[in-house]
């Protein structure tokens, strides 16, 4: 069975030869795992070796540089946020360090512009997708369609949440400018792909570890109609939608089902109402799932045997209904032992067969 067939059938809750496999990690731990497996500077070979079924249809930005450079910081030329590299004992991370719209008045928020969907290179898409062979290909990522995190990186989280809760027109306009750019990008990309995209990947973190980040009423008022535009676009191209959402987020899954979302991604099992047992009992056969292998549990802090048993237990719970994609709950972190990452992907080969 090809990866593409495997993924399509899993979206439909059908059992396949094995569960589809995905992978995501910080650059630091990835370099160590890649070296341990003998695939230095061969990312495609590495993905094939661990059995990853997915490849992304990435777009290159070719537009004007509309945001200001700040010494000592990196600027994202598409979304206008700033980071600084912070080292730690395990490696490092890019910390959000400057928020250009923090404490901004409505006039300044209204003046903040995102690039146009025309500012990306779609001409390279056919060649890129051909290079992926029979793998399953998605458009988007957990940042596409996202509101809270993406706007929070520009305004700061407090200003973002207050603006959304109060219905501030300038903040809602900022959100819509960002989403309209991404809607245009997805439509142009899907046109360029000529039917080779298998699903669209969206994102919106909606929970803390213990509770919702916003109310269901606010989700329905502000977020749902905006997310629905992406789902409707995907539907017009006959592809399903996966949505990434961290934390305790199962409170919104009935709405996701009603909206037409097919897969939820991340599934942090330590968060409230997010255990594999809870998800299967309440949503099995109505939603498919990607994730559940916690990056904050045995993978980071356990032994190889504990990682193997943990993955085996998760697979035994998630496999019977079909509709399960094996993946970490987030990027695998730099403090994760290399041997544990290898054990994780060996476990799915040993216990992920149907």
Give me the phi and psi of 112, to 5 degrees please.
-75, 120
Residue 350 pLDDT exceeds 90:
yes
Average pLDDT over all residues of the chain: 97
Residue 41 pLDDT exceeds 90:
no
Residue 9 pLDDT exceeds 90:
yes
Tens digits of residue pLDDT in 101-128: 999 999 999 999 999 999 999 999 999 9
74: left (phi over 0), alpha (psi -120 to 50) or beta: beta
Tens digits of residue pLDDT in 221-272: 999 999 999 999 999 999 999 999 999 999 999 999 999 999 999 999 999 9
CATH number for the 3-63+104-351 domain, one of 3.40.190.10, 3.20.20.210, 3.30.70.3400, 2.60.40.10? 3.20.20.210
Residue 80 pLDDT exceeds 90:
yes
Tens digits of residue pLDDT in 126-173: 999 999 999 999 999 999 999 999 999 999 999 999 999 999 999 999
Residues 293/328, Cβ–Cβ less than 8 Å:
yes
Each domain of the chain, given as residue ranges in start order, spans 3-63+104-351
Residue 97 pLDDT exceeds 90:
yes
**Sign, Cα dihedral of 268, 88, 91, 340:** negative
Q: Tell me the pLDDT band of 40, cut-offs 50, 70 and 90.
A: confident
Tens digits of residue pLDDT in 85-96: 999 999 899 999
């Amino acid at each position: 069975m090809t990866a593409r067939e495997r993924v399509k059938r899993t979206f439909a809750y059908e059992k396949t030869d094995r569960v589809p496999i995905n992978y995501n990690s910080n650059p630091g731990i990835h370099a160590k795992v890649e070296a341990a497996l003998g695939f230095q500077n061969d990312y495609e070979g590495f993905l094939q070796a661990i059995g990853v079924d997915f490849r992304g249809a990435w777009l290159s930005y070719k537009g004007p540089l509309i945001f200001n450079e700040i010494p000592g910081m990196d600027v994202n030329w598409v979304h206008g946020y700033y980071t600084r590299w912070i080292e730690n004992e395990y490696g490092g991370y890019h910390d959000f360090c400057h928020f250009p719209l923090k404490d901004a008045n409505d006039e300044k928020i209204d003046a903040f512009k995102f690039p146009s969907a025309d500012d990306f290179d779609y001409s390279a898409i056919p060649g890129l997708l051909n290079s992926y062979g029979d793998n399953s290909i998605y458009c988007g990522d957990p940042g596409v369609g996202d509101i809270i995190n993406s706007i929070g990186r520009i305004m700061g989280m407090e200003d973002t949440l207050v603006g959304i809760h109060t219905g501030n027109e300038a903040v809602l306009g900022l959100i819509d400018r960002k989403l309209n750019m991404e809607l245009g990008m997805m439509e142009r990309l899907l046109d360029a792909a000529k039917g080779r995209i298998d699903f669209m990947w969206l994102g919106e973190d909606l929970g803390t570890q213990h509770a919702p980040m916003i109310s269901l009423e606010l989700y329905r008022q502000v977020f749902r109609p905006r997310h629905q535009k992406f789902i409707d676009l995907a539907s017009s191209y006959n592809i399903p939608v996966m949505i990434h959402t961290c934390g305790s987020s199962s409170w919104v899954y009935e709405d996701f089902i009603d909206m037409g979302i097919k897969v939820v991604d991340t599934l942090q099992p330590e968060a409230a109402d997010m255990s594999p047992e809870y998800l299967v009992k309440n949503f099995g056969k109505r939603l498919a799932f990607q994730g559940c292998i916690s990056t904050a549990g045995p993978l980071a802090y356990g032994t190889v045997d504990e990682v193997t048993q943990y993955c085996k237990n998760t697979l035994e719970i998630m496999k019977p209904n079909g509709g399960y994609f094996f993946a970490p709950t987030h990027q695998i972190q730099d403090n994760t032992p290399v041997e544990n990452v290898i054990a994780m992907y060996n476990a799915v080969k040993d216990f992920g067969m149907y």
